[in-house]
A = this chain, B = another copy of it.
Amino acid sequence: MVGLQELRTPALLVDRPRLLANLRDMAARADALGVALRPHVKTHKSPAIAALQRDGGAVGLTVATVTEAECFAAHGHRDLLITTPPVGGWRLDRVVALARQGRIRVSVDDADVVASLEQACRRSGVEVGFLWELDCGAGRFGSVPGRASAELIARVADGVRHCSFDGLLTFPGHAYAATGLGGIVAAAEDEREAIVRTADELEARGVEVRVRSVGSTPTAHVMSSGEGITEMRPGNYAFYDATQTALGVVAPDRCALSVLATVVSRPSRDRLILDSGSKALAAERLSTLTPGYGMVVAHPELRVERLYEEQAVVCSDRECSIPIGARVRVVPNHACAAVNLHSELMVLEEEEIVERWAVEARGWGHGHEAAGRDRLAAATG
């Protein structure tokens, strides 16, 4: 065991009791709603945490990219949903290779992409399922919910023999633009409505919609029932962060992830400089409600005003006595982005580091190499 004072900084800490409580509570919430939990592992990119989620009842995992899928498949996960459409020959090749090992579903929003998936499945003799993505308001992927989409999906579903239409998917990304819980409740209603309306149109055309998948940590928190949907894909809930706190989704004491930083300069009485910059915390502001670039634990008087690459400029509302050399913990604005900057999570229990977990799928999204270890070897050779 290593004490917090012995760690080099910046270091990424995960409070294990909080993490376990977060995982348990979301699993219980999915149970209570009567929907399956398929957590999005882009948040932690860590096989150690995915194993906890599986043991806690997750039906499978959601991943953002083919290369994340490969990482978790290598750790024995056999039911994966990939939320980037399989565009490009290399992606199709790898999706097909993954499908030889277990169930792979991909999300799509285009008939030609389904046609190329159908060809790849026909050639290889393996089956890949697809979920059609609807845009419930995020303005990213997806077709407009309702009749026109249902007509298109029905034609697409009818035209495939080697891949299969398994259902509908949507992502309420606009929940992060909410200025309070009311906006999140509205986004949750948008996602349900997008799925139900389109599913009804499809079933009226004789097309079965087995999977009805919705997403996001904020909306998972406010959903009042699971009616009309079958699974949810929250990711951030493993850790939560300053954005979830600012949105009112959880209280600050639920945040399980923080960056341990050292005060390296005290240029004035109301300012201190930490060694945790944008390359440790990520300079992201997902919500206009976050007052800065993170929350300093146990110091509500401090604001993380600016991030340079290796420094945070922290200002205080009053004269501040924290000396050079002191250590503080900063909860990042966006946990998923912060984790991606670190190669390991230091597992914290009662102020001691009891274990280290690899952020093994970090960087896999770029997918230059076929295998992760080879990739890392090549990158340092």
Residues of A within 8 A of B (CB): 7-12, 42, 64-65, 84-85, 87-88, 90, 109-110, 112-113, 135, 139-143, 173, 262-267, 271, 273, 275, 278-280, 282-284, 306, 308-311, 313, 324-325, 336-337, 340-344, 346, 356, 358-360, 362-363, 365-368, 372-373, 375-376, 378-381
Q: Which chain B positions have C-beta within 8 A of A344?
A: 368, 378-379
Cβ contacts under 8 Å, A87 to chain B? 262-265, 275, 324-325
A88-B262, A359-B379 are known contacts; what are 7 more A-B pairs with Cβ within 8 Å? Answer: A10-B366, A65-B275, A113-B324, A139-B313, A278-B337, A309-B340, A358-B379
5 pairs, A vs B, C-beta closer than 8 Å: A64-B310, A139-B271, A278-B282, A278-B337, A343-B366
Contacts of A310 on B, CB cut-off 8 Å? 42, 64-65, 84, 365
Would B363 and A342 count as touching, CB distance under 8 A?
yes
Instruction: Let me know if A8 and B368 touch, CB within 8 A.
Output: yes
Residues of B close to A325: CB separation below 8 A: 87-88
Q: Within 8 Å CB of A367, what residues of B? A: 8-9
Q: Which residues of B contact A173 (CB under 8 A)?
A: 308
**Alpha-carbon separation in the docked complex, A324 to B115 (Å):** 13
A311 touches B141 (CB 8 A): yes
Give the distance to chain B from A11, nearest Cβ to Cβ, in Å. 6
Contact between A324 and B380, CB atoms less than 8 A apart: no
Q: CA–CA, A358 to B311, complex, Å?
A: 24
Q: Is A267's CB under 8 angstroms from B373's CB?
A: no
Q: Contact check: which of B143, B362, B372 meets A267 at CB < 8 Å?
A: B143
State which of B84, B313, B358, B379 has its C-beta within 8 Å of the C-beta of A343. B379
Question: In the complex, what residue of chain B is closest to A42 when comparing beta carbons?
Answer: B309
Q: Which of B324, B372, B381 contacts A112 (CB 8 A)?
A: B324
What are the 10 A-B residue pairs with the smallest beta carbon separation, nearest first?
Answer: A343-B379, A64-B310, A87-B264, A8-B367, A283-B284, A141-B265, A85-B264, A358-B379, A8-B90, A376-B376
